[in-house]
Amino acid sequence: MTLITWIAAFITGLLASLGVGGGMVLIVWLTAVMGMPQLEAQGINLIFFLPIALLSVIIHRKNGLIPFRELVPALITGILGAAAGCYGARLIGSELLGKIFAGFILIIGIKELFSALFGNNRE
Ranges in the chain, pLDDT < 70 = 1, 17, 19, 120-123
Establish if 38 belongs to a structural domain: yes
Number of domains in the chain: 1
The whole-number pLDDT of residue 30 equals: 87
Establish if 79 belongs to a structural domain: yes
The whole-number pLDDT of residue 11 equals: 83
In which domain, by residue range, is 46 found? Answer: 3-118
Establish if 86 belongs to a structural domain: yes
The whole-number pLDDT of residue 122 equals: 57
Establish if 123 belongs to a structural domain: no
The whole-number pLDDT of residue 19 equals: 67
CA separation for the pair 72, 78 (Å, rounded): 10
The whole-number pLDDT of residue 75 equals: 85
pTM: 0.61
Establish if 63 belongs to a structural domain: yes
Establish if 34 belongs to a structural domain: yes
